[in-house]
Structure 1
Amino acid sequence: MFIAQKIAFSAGLLACGSGHTGPVDYKKTLEYKKVISNIGNAYDPDTGVFTAPVKGVYYFRFYAHSHSGNQMGVSLLKNTQVQVSVYFWKPTTNGNASNGVVLTLEPGDRVYTELWENCWVFDNERSYTSFSGFMIFPL
């Protein structure tokens, strides 16, 4: 009998307080410090990176929040390759965007989000900017 490993995580950008991340003049890996759940311990809040422990099909989603007048751009990457992105050009009011993707991962594959150059995201205790993922099934 095969028992599947349980893998799931959810994290908000800031562990406490509120504030902007960015802008920076380079692409920056976002480190989600408010770990809400981390079953299987595959997500590392010190690096912002999820590392696949087993081969399988996984689902990831992320949300990003921006205040008015701030350009927001974030991508989700698998091993340095952009998979999906969100972008908001200086909204007149607060802006929110989200995206999700199903990925086939090998052990050691890395999934993370990256803030674009000259872009901002905002977060507070409500975790408007967040990153989550889970294994759908092993292969």
Structure 2
Amino acid sequence: MLMVVQLLLLLCVGSSVSEDLMTPTVNIIAELGKLKKMEEKIQTLQETLNTVLSENAALKSLVQDSQNKLESFLKENKAQKIAFSAGLLASGEGYTGPFKDDWKTLVYKKVFSNIGDAYDSNTGIFTAPVKGAYYFRFYAHSRSRINLGAGLFKNNVPQCSVFSFQPTRHSNASNGVVLTLEPGDQVHIKVWSNAQVYDDIDSLTSFSGFLIFPL
């Protein structure tokens, strides 16, 4: 009888030990659950990061595009502000001409304004920076019996002129014209051959122009 009881006790103890070995403890299961939740959070954070990076790239592209458009607008707006005015002599007084061989370009040195930098005081030539309708006006003066004569040229083609035949005293003349210019077209004033113009500190001989509107 005692032996039977001992066998039963051994069986019970063996069964209990086997169950303990086969079944995870409660703490391990909890830790595994925590790891699973952490993995889910990491995955969610990764997805959020990818979304933010994608949106940031799109935003960066949008900002860059806006900056490019703004720079283009400012550049175009600046190019459309064009006006200049200049007198022939920077200082002193005197005659220019007459020249026997050919008409000679007048280089207006006394620059009153040159918005847009389209007029070159080294050459006397205005170069259109944008396509548009431009207005030009020039004045000429003489104080001798030599002919007064000057003309406005577009790309070396005469457009309009002023002339006074052997003036006895002071002689003044002016003319103006509206021209349609393409970018790079050039406008300048030439004194006629066998003619002259006079200028002094009062800028009696001058050249002006401005952009009326772009086309």
Normalised to the residue count of structure 2, the TM-score between the two structures is 0.63
Question: How far, CA to CA, are the matches of 1:23 and 1:100 in structure 2?
Answer: 23
Equivalent residue for 1:23? Answer: 98
Task: Name the counterpart of 1:61.
Answer: 137
Q: Which protein has the bigger helix share?
A: 2
Off by >4 Å, runs of 4+ in structure 1: none
The alignment covers a number of residue pairs equal to 139
For 2:99 and 2:117, the matched residues in 1 are separated by: 29
C-alpha distance in 2 between matches for 1:134 and 1:20:
27
Point out where structure 2 has 5 or more consecutive residues left out of the alignment.
1-72
2:99 is aligned with what amino acid? V
Structure with higher Rg: it is: 2
1:70 is displaced (CA, Å) by: 1.9
SS in 2 for 1:77: strand
Q: Which structure's relative contact order is higher, taking Cα pairs within 8 Å and 6+ residues apart?
A: 1
1:3 CA drift (Å): 3.5
Partner of 1:10: 85
Between the aligned partners of 1:3 and 1:9, the Cα distance in structure 2 is 17
Partner of 1:51: 127
Unaligned runs of 5+ in 1: none
Deviates more, 1:4-13 or 1:58-67: 4-13
Instruction: Name the amino acid aligned to 1:24.
Output: F
Determine the C-alpha separation between the residues in 1 that align with 2:167 and 2:156: 28
In 2, Cα distance between equivalents of 1:3 and 1:130: 28
Match of 1:125 among 201, 206, 209: 201
- TM-aligned CA deviation for residue 11 of structure 1: 0.2
Query: Which of 75, 98, 117 is 2:174 aligned to?
Result: 98
Q: Residues of 2 paired with 1:53 and 1:33: CA distance?
A: 21
For 1:119 and 1:37, the matched residues in 2 are separated by 28
* Counterpart-to-counterpart distance in 1, 2:200 and 2:77: 38
Aligned-residue Cα RMSD (Å) equals 1.2
Structure 1 distance, partners of 2:146, 2:207, is: 20
The one-letter code sitting in structure 2 at the alignment partner of 1:101 is V
Q: Distance in 1 between matches of 2:197 and 2:161?
A: 14
Query: Percent of pairs identical after alignment?
Result: 63
Q: Structure 2 CA distance, aligned partners of 1:58 and 1:80? A: 17
Could you say which structure has the higher strand fraction?
A: 1
